[in-house]
């Protein structure tokens, strides 16, 4: 019988959603400054961060909802 010790394997700490959101916002601002707000696509942000588009959409971080100028 194989038994596992749950405490034996340490998992890497996960970034909180706040950390991920901050990373997304910082990268988006960097891209907006480089090429302009109107030219940045969601895929530009996700490619730069090496994350999937679904991750960005799940965090409700789209250019129109989170990055629109006020």
Q: What is the pLDDT of residue 11?
A: 47
Q: Residue 40: its pLDDT value, please?
A: 94
| Cα dist from 22 to 4, 7, 17, 44, whole Å | 37, 31, 8, 16
For the 17-64 domain, the top CATH level (class) is mainly alpha
Q: What is the pLDDT of residue 12?
A: 45
Single pTM value for the model: 0.62
pLDDT at position 8: 53
Average pLDDT along the chain, 70 residues, taken 10 residues at a time: 53 64 90 95 93 83 56
Residues in the chain: 70
Using H for helix, E for strand and C for coil, what is the string for the chain?
Answer: CCCCCCCCCCCCCCCCHHHHHHHHHHHHHHHHHHHCHHHCCHHHHHHHHCCCHHHHHHCCCCHHHHCCCC
């Amino acid at each position: 019988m194989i038994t596992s010790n749950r405490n034996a394997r340490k998992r890497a700490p996960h970034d909180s959603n706040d950390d991920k959101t901050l990373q997304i916002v910082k990268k988006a601002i960097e891209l907006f400054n480089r090429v302009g707000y109107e030219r940045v696509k969601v895929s530009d942000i996700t490619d730069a961060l090496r994350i999937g588009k679904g991750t960005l959409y799940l965090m409700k971080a789209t250019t129109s909802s989170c990055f629109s100028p006020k």
